[in-house]
């Protein structure tokens, strides 16, 4: 993309309403614009990151054998009356009345609707196991929306639902989700720690929240420092292998790691003192096993191999897709701007032309752009008629991991400058080498 033809409205001023870094930087980098309280338009740059995050979530869900579909944003109130949650949910549920006076609501989650779909079609244990998921906009009418996309009202969430014949099968689905989530967050450059949590309005005794450590996190967390040494890495997983998935769960959840809702001071004190950590965390996902809570309420049963009609065991599993942008920025920025991990960057690299209008530098930049594009990468070429300082400031603010700087002096020596946004380190290399290095960096991402 050539910046002269793009829409990237960066702001020079820091918006007064933004209290945390991610909110400030998303506004300043022209990623989002508030449409009304807690509701945002995703400007082109922000939208690109949102789509990349969505794509990673999708790929990892499909890899785990889960099936994508899509439920609508507006739901009938009837199903929520059937489950008993219509009145329980309180003022965070946005209630709507249509022109015929029917009670509807903007879905804050989808246990009822997915269970209705399941009970309409699935009658036999032979059709199990089944895990369906979707990525859809949700609404929670927060009394005080704040922190930008971190606590918005209209937000994008991946929510998945497993249907299983037995508790053991459902716990395997739970473990599968834990594994898939670990992979998902790591691909985004995040360390998200599974912590024992509370079921809240979804319900269920088995539940883990995934938290990214950050000073601006909304939750106080308590953990054994050994948990931060764990990484999933590039190990191979067979999602049908019950023992293997259980092994990953055991490895990642056996050490103490809890949110304040489930914190147990006595247990915590048993950790050697030098490993005890109290910090703050941003919740980026949660998995639940809640047994037959919804299948009982809504009559979601199957016939088992003994011809008995039994309720299915269920769980639900969510990732806060739009809020992840905020979490990633909180975890990865400096005083100049955002530092995108390669997995979610909106463009793979930036090209800065130091002398726009000069035939040689323009030509070299165009060649670089073409070479990167041919290699399947998406560069952002700053071809505006601006000073070098302004171009560097924009690139630093929007946080592309790599920048190639092209100027007349370097070209005379046959080199361009390749700069890491994270370290600030630069090397002078030929244009061909710069392309080859960028291609290599993104090979497995």
Please give the residue ranges that form the binding site for a second copy (CB under 8 A): 5-7, 9, 30, 33, 35-37, 39-44, 46-47, 50, 65, 67-76, 91-92, 94, 96, 98-99, 102, 104, 106, 113, 116-117, 120-122, 130, 132, 134, 137, 139, 141, 143, 153-154
| Of residues 33 and 275, the one with the C-beta less far from a second copy | 33
- Do 30 and 45 touch, CB atoms closer than 8 A? yes
Whole-number minimum distance, CB 255 to a second copy, in Å? 34
Write out the two tokens for 289. Answer: 């096993």
CA pair distance 194, 212, nearest whole angstrom: 9
Write out the two tokens for 257. Answer: 């790691």
Cα distances (Å, whole numbers) of residue 341 to 74, 147, 329, 350, 435? 35, 21, 9, 14, 19
Whole-number minimum distance, CB 142 to a second copy, in Å? 9
| Of residues 92 and 215, the one with the C-beta less far from a second copy | 92
Whole-number minimum distance, CB 49 to a second copy, in Å? 11
DSSP 185-202: HHHTT--EEEEE---TTT
Whole-number minimum distance, CB 292 to a second copy, in Å? 20
Whole-number minimum distance, CB 220 to a second copy, in Å? 27
Half-sphere exposure of 352 (CA within 13 A, CB side): 23
| Of residues 258 and 317, the one with the C-beta less far from a second copy | 317
- Do 280 and 221 touch, CB atoms closer than 8 A? yes
Q: In what order do the strands lie in the sheet with 379-382?
A: 379-382, 349-353, 402-406, 416-420, 426-429
Whole-number minimum distance, CB 106 to a second copy, in Å? 7
CA pair distance 173, 167, nearest whole angstrom: 10
Whole-number minimum distance, CB 235 to a second copy, in Å? 23
CA pair distance 363, 359, nearest whole angstrom: 6
| Of residues 94 and 441, the one with the C-beta less far from a second copy | 94
Whole-number minimum distance, CB 105 to a second copy, in Å? 10
Residue 255 host element (H or E): none
* Residue 249 DSSP SS3: helix
| Of residues 6 and 206, the one with the C-beta less far from a second copy | 6
Write out the two tokens for 3. Answer: 């910046």
Query: Running DSSP on this structure, what letter comes out for residue 222?
Result: E
CA pair distance 235, 276, nearest whole angstrom: 28
| Of residues 37 and 360, the one with the C-beta less far from a second copy | 37
CA pair distance 299, 379, nearest whole angstrom: 52
| Of residues 141 and 296, the one with the C-beta less far from a second copy | 141
| Of residues 122 and 388, the one with the C-beta less far from a second copy | 122
């Amino acid at each position: 993309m050539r910046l002269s033809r793009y829409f990237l409205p960066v702001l020079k001023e820091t918006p007064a309403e933004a209290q945390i870094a991610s909110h400030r930087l998303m506004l300043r980098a022209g990623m989002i614009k508030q449409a009304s309280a807690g509701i945002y338009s995703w400007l082109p740059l922000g939208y690109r990151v949102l789509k990349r995050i969505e794509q990673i979530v999708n790929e990892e869900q499909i890899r785990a054998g889960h099936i994508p579909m899509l439920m609508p944003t507006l739901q009938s109130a009837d199903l929520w009356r059937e489950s008993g949650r219509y009145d329980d949910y309180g003022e965070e549920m946005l209630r709507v009345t249509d022109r015929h006076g029917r009670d509807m609501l903007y879905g804050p989650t989808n246990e009822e609707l997915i269970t209705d779909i399941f009970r309409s079609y699935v009658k036999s244990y032979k059709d199990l196991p089944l895990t369906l998921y979707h990525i859809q906009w949700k609404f929670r009418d927060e009394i005080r929306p704040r922190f930008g996309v971190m606590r918005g009202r209209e937000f994008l969430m991946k929510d998945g639902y497993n249907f299983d014949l037995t508790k053991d099968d459902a716990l395997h689905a739970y473990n599968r989700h834990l594994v898939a989530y670990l992979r998902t967050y790591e691909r985004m450059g995040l360390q998200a720690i599974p912590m024992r949590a509370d079921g809240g309005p979804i319900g269920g005794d088995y539940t883990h929240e995934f938290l990214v450590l950050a000073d601006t996190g909304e939750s106080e967390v308590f953990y054994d420092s050994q948990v931060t040494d764990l990484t999933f890495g590039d190990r191979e997983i067979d999602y049908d292998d019950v023992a293997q998935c259980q092994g990953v769960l055991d490895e990642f959840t056996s050490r103490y790691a809890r949110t304040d809702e489930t914190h147990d001071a006595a247990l915590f004190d048993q950790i050697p003192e030098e490993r005890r950590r109290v910090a703050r965390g941003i919740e980026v996902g949660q998995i639940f096993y809640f047994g037959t809570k919804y299948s009982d309420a809504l009559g979601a049963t199957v016939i088992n191999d003994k011809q008995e009609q039994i309720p299915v065991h269920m769980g639900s599993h969510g990732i806060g897709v739009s809020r992840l942008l905020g979490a990633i920025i909180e975890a990865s920025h400096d005083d100049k701007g955002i530092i995108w991990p390669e997995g979610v960057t909106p463009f793979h690299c930036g090209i800065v032309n130091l002398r726009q209008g000069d035939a040689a530098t323009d030509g070299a930049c165009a060649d670089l752009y073409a070479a990167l594009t041919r290699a399947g990468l998406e560069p952002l070429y700053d071809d505006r008629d601006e000073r070098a300082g302004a171009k560097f400031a924009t690139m630093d603010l929007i946080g592309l991991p790599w920048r190639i700087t092209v100027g007349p002096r370097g070209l005379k020596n046959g080199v361009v400058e390749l700069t890491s946004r994270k370290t600030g380190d630069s090397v002078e290399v030929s244009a061909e080498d710069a392309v080859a290095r960028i291609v290599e960096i993104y090979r497995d991402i």
